[in-house]
Amino acid sequence: MRSGAAAVALAATAALLAGCSSSGGKTDDPLSGGKAGDGTVVVGSNNFPESILLADVYGEALKAKGVKVEYKPNIGSRETTYGLLKNGSITVLPEYNGALLAYLDKKAAPKSVAATTAAVSAKLAPKLALLNPSPAEDKDSVTVNAATAQKYHLTSSSSIADLKDAAQDLVIGGSPEFQTRQQGLEGLKSVYGLHFKSFKALDAGGPLTQAALKKNLVQAADLFTTDPTVTKEKFVVLQDPKNLFGFENVQPLVHKPGLDRKGTDALNAVSAKLDTAALLKLDTQVQTQDKDPLEVAKAWLKSEGLA
Amino acid sequence: MNVLHFVNAFFGDGSHWHGYDGIPARLAEHLRYSLIALALAAAIGLPVGLLTGHYGRGGNTLALIATAGRALPSFGLLVLMFILLGFGLVPVMIPLVVLAVPPILVTTYEAVRSVDPAPVDAARGMGMAESRVLFRVELPVALPLILSGLRSAAIQIVSTATIAAYVSLGGLGRYIVDGLYQRDYEKVVGGATLVAVLALATLALFWAVARWAVSPGVRRSG
Amino acid sequence: MNRFFDLPSDLQHSWFGLIGLHLREALLPVLAGLLAALPIAQLCVRFRWLYPPVLGLTTVLYAIPSLAFFVVLIDYTGQTELTVMIPLAVYSLVVLVPAIVDGVRSVPQETLAAATAMGLGPVRRYLQVQLPIAVPAIIAGLRVATVSSISLVSVGMLIGNQGALGNLLNDANIYHRPELAVNSVLTTAVLAILADGALVLLRLLLTPWMPRRTGRPARVAEAARPDTATPADAAVPALEDAAR
């Protein structure tokens, strides 16, 4: 009798759990949505606010053209997302052409946006393609805080090379992946000959990096050039005369078999309208005016006649 | 087995053995976080547990505190404390101490409570003061169980201190978090191995301490 | 605080949706762990020599931090819920095996003999006598495993928003909205307390012959003599009350 009660309890628990799992919804089950075989386009994003915003912009533009879209936001670093694109787990990812090139080919130093796209395309895995680049640029940078700028007499016309003597006394911060990237510590060493005192792993140009630079826990950091906090906190972005951070146009990277002509056209139409000023405006709405990225994306698409 | 291959590669790489990101430095940081957290948790849990156990009061309150402490998610607490307090050791210590206090508190309380009342009464009959009853009679008998509570807390701290890396601190978690973002399995597996070894070393240490500190009479009577 | 339940769009779920997701990611592994632990524990009871090596292995598995476990699994199971659930199932298994073994072993020899004398075969004896008597110990293990599992799901946030309520933490950070982190911590804690309470109720229902207020003294008496046990046995209490 007791075991009967135990069996009933167990069965009830199992039923409850089964109930939970079916109520979880179909579209968000990552296992079913893994391959984009049923015409659903999976739009992914990296783990920083601008990437999530751009995924919304491109994704909503696809939706407006009647494409079925599923989002996979906040995945992680390029080191992870590139692999997911390669195996088709995600179909579209807003990329930055120069950073992607540095990831694929450490030595490349193209002189134009078109050359960057060509160089990336030559190195891409077979099923991947870059669509048209947008004029919008958002670069990684070496940015110093106000105190450091004052101490070493750095202004917005100073270059990264001017840190040569100071670097050994400075802690530089950035995302964990900055530590091993060409567009990171490696490039700063090989291209500019900079050897920093140490590296502090923070996040991809996000709140940790902003706060650490402000509090002088790091004296220099990798911030994005579209970061609204740069002007707010009087940070100084150093010039990059040797073009380590290259061209950084927003450019969708796609898994070709998952996207048809209609989708490609929709994404290219967005890229044609997106310039740096627009991107900065959208970033500011999300990062300092507390607006939801999806709403910001929809409003912008509407104002541009894209949705 | 590729995991073993990663372990080999990680420990075989000479550059992993020196500098601010080297194994000795990260291990020292991890030990430092763990020891501070354990000391803080013991400073809270031991006296409260000993006193409540001795006087046999507050068991229900302790159970409630312990349940609440266990229910609070360490990772969530870490991020929340980081958002509220900013960089530093404090946002990391709060979740670790919250994690470690319940096992210390509850086991200490139960250890003292479950001491055979006969010798305790005998000690009182001999005219021992309450403090002497607690420290000379109850504590030695309760020690094995108290140590097991401390050990449980220590293991959890060592394993959980890895999350400090998410808010930019050091420790062995650095290898795991960096490895995740750099897609470098060597680092992840190497870091995890170091944490596991440290946890097992903690087990061994507590076993040795128990051997050395527990009175032979208590050991036999168990 | 007026935006406490106003969740950012990138979470793609309402608050209740996240709760459902969180419960699924936390409880399915405990159930899987239990289903795997029952036969393993039975083997350990039948073949005593098996128990120390099993305990040793599970202790090592338990010492591996969850995040490392997740990251290594990504290669095989992708950035999915499954990647979060597998380690949680392993941790549950590790907590439950010793709990069940100790519970089943605590059945007195006379009781077993009486059952045999009543004509019960080994299977019925296990299902009708040993397992019910072991229920308090099993539930004690389940409580630890469940609370720890609910807490650990949040870490899944780091592998591409697979942390259900934990995903709120990242958005709290990047959108400067501390109330989302408060929401995450409180909701998770309340879920853990409710699940814990449900298991206590379940034990009361399943073991009406037990006095209402106890259930612990037996465990204390057992744990009170770690030094007479083998080192591997001594590891058991270290695994209890865990909530990394």
Nearest-10 Cα torsion for C2, C7, C8, C13: -170
Q: Do A176 and B87 touch (CB under 8 A)?
A: no
Interface of chain B toward chain A, CB-CB under 8 angstroms: 20-21, 86-87, 165, 167-168, 174, 177-178, 180-184
**Residues of A whose CB is below 8 A from B168:** 173, 200-202, 208, 212
Interface test with B, best of A178, A179, A183 (most B CBs within 10 A): A179
Helix or strand (DSSP H, E) at A255: strand A250-255
The number of distinct structural domains making up chain B is: 1
Residue B111, pLDDT score = 93
Between CA B17 and CA C211 the distance in angstroms is 58
Backbone angles phi, psi at A253, to 5 degrees: -105, 130
Min CA distance, B186 vs chain C (Å)? 10
In a domain, A242, yes or no: no
Between CA A154 and CA B20 the distance in angstroms is 27
Q: Which ranges of A222-304 would DSSP assign to H, the alpha helix?
A: 229-232, 261-273, 276-287, 293-303
Between CA A91 and CA A70 the distance in angstroms is 10
In a domain, B39, yes or no: yes
Q: Are residues A126 and A251 in the same domain?
A: yes
The answer to whether residue C201 scores a pLDDT higher than 70 is: yes
Q: DSSP secondary structure string, C119-175? A: T--HHHHIIIIIHHHHHHHHHHHHHHHHHHHHHHGGGGGGGTS-SGGGHHHHHHHHT
Residue A200, pLDDT score = 96
Q: Are residues A260 and A120 in the same domain?
A: yes
Angle between helices C81-105 and C131-152 (to 10 degrees): 150
Min CA distance, B168 vs chain A (Å)? 5
The answer to whether residue C127 scores a pLDDT higher than 90 is: no
Q: Are residues A260 and A134 in the same domain?
A: yes
Residue A37, pLDDT score = 53
pTM exceeds 0.90: no
Min CA distance, B79 vs chain C (Å)? 6
| 3-state SS class at A250 | strand
In a domain, B77, yes or no: yes
Q: Are residues A81 and A112 in the same domain?
A: yes
Q: Do C10 and A71 touch (CB under 8 A)?
A: yes
In a domain, B176, yes or no: no
Q: Are residues A163 and A134 in the same domain?
A: no
In a domain, A162, yes or no: yes
Q: Using a pLDDT cut of 90, give the percent of chain B over it.
A: 75
Q: Which residue has the tokens 């240490």?
A: B205
Q: Any idea what the CATH number is for the domain that residue A213 is in?
A: 3.40.190.120
**Residues of C whose CB is below 8 A from A48:** 174
Min CA distance, A189 vs chain C (Å)? 29
Q: Among C189, C187, C177, which Cα is nearest to C6's?
A: C177
**Among A5, A25, A290, beta carbon nearest to C175:** A290
Residue A32, pLDDT score = 37
Per the CB < 8 A criterion, the answer to whether C198 and C189 are in contact is no
A296 in contact with chain C, both atoms CB, cutoff 8 A: no
pLDDT digits (tens, 9 = 90+) for B77-124: 999 999 999 999 999 999 999 999 999 999 999 999 989 999 999 999
Residue C145, pLDDT score = 95
CATH architecture of the domain with residue range C9-239: Orthogonal Bundle (1.10)
In a domain, B5, yes or no: no
pLDDT digits (tens, 9 = 90+) for B19-72: 889 999 999 999 999 999 999 999 999 999 999 999 988 888 898 888 899 999
**Residues of C whose CB is below 8 A from B189:** 68, 72
Residue A13, pLDDT score = 42
Q: Do C78 and A89 touch (CB under 8 A)?
A: yes
Range of the domain at B151: 24-171+198-221
The count of C-alpha atoms lying within 13 angstroms of the C-alpha of C181, restricted to the half-sphere facing its C-beta, is 21
Between CA A179 and CA B182 the distance in angstroms is 8
**Of A271-275, A277-281, C163-167, C233-237, the least confident:** C233-237
Q: Are residues A93 and A168 in the same domain?
A: no
Q: Are residues A130 and A254 in the same domain?
A: yes
Range of the domain at A113: 36-138+247-303
Instruction: Read off the tokens for B206.
Output: 């507590």
In a domain, B110, yes or no: yes
In b/e form, how buried is each residue of A250-262, taking b as 16+ CB within 10 angstroms?
Answer: bbbbbbeebbeee
All structural domains of chain C with their residue ranges: 9-239
Residue B214, pLDDT score = 86
How far is CA A80 from each of CA A89, A266, B180, rounded to the nearest angstrom? 11, 26, 8
Residue C227, pLDDT score = 33
- Give the chains touching A; criterion: ≥3 Cβ pairs < 8 Å: B, C
Which amino acid type is present at position C238?
A
Q: Are residues A131 and A253 in the same domain?
A: yes
Tens of each residue's pLDDT in chain A, 307 residues: 344 444 444 444 444 444 344 333 333 334 333 444 578 999 999 999 999 999 999 999 999 999 999 999 999 999 999 999 998 999 999 999 999 999 999 888 888 999 999 999 999 999 999 999 999 999 999 999 999 999 999 999 999 999 999 999 999 999 999 999 999 999 999 999 999 999 999 999 999 999 999 999 999 999 999 998 898 899 999 999 998 998 999 999 999 999 999 999 999 999 999 999 999 999 999 988 889 999 999 999 999 999 8
Q: Are residues A129 and A251 in the same domain?
A: yes
**Residues of A whose CB is below 8 A from C111:** none
Residue C57, pLDDT score = 87
Q: End-to-end CA distance of chain C, in Å?
A: 28
Between CA B77 and CA B79 the distance in angstroms is 6
| 3-state SS class at A172 | strand
Instruction: Read off the tokens for A304.
Output: 């541009």
The number of distinct structural domains making up chain A is: 2
Residue A172 pairs in a beta bridge with: A199, A220
Instruction: Read off the tokens for A284.
Output: 């500011």
Helix or strand (DSSP H, E) at B130: helix B130-132
In a domain, B188, yes or no: no
The answer to whether residue C2 scores a pLDDT higher than 80 is: no
| 3-state SS class at A155 | coil
Residue C213, pLDDT score = 54
pLDDT digits (tens, 9 = 90+) for C15-39: 999 999 999 999 999 999 999 999 9
How far is CA C106 from each of CA C12, C102, C103, C117, C219, rounded to the nearest angstrom? 48, 6, 5, 19, 10
Between CA A260 and CA A19 the distance in angstroms is 36
The answer to whether residue C221 scores a pLDDT higher than 90 is: no
Instruction: Read off the tokens for C108.
Output: 């007195």
Residue C231, pLDDT score = 32
Q: Are residues A132 and A41 in the same domain?
A: yes
Taking residues B127-145, report their average pLDDT. Answer: 92
pLDDT band at B220 (very low <50, low <70, confident <90, very high): low
pLDDT digits (tens, 9 = 90+) for C171-197: 999 998 999 999 999 999 999 999 999
Q: Which ranges of A145-201 would DSSP assign to H, the alpha helix?
A: 146-151, 187-192
Q: Any idea what the CATH number is for the domain that residue B154 is in?
A: 1.10.3720.10
How many Cβ atoms sit within 10 Å of the Cβ of residue C224? 22
Q: Using a pLDDT cut of 70, give the percent of chain C over it.
A: 85
Please list, in sequence order, all residues whose beta carbon lies within 8 angstroms of the beta carbon of residue B24, skipping any fewer than 6 positions away.
B17, B18
In a domain, A8, yes or no: no
pLDDT digits (tens, 9 = 90+) for B166-192: 999 999 999 999 999 998 989 999 999
Min CA distance, C28 vs chain A (Å)? 7
**Among A80, A201, A208, beta carbon nearest to B178:** A201
| 3-state SS class at A220 | strand
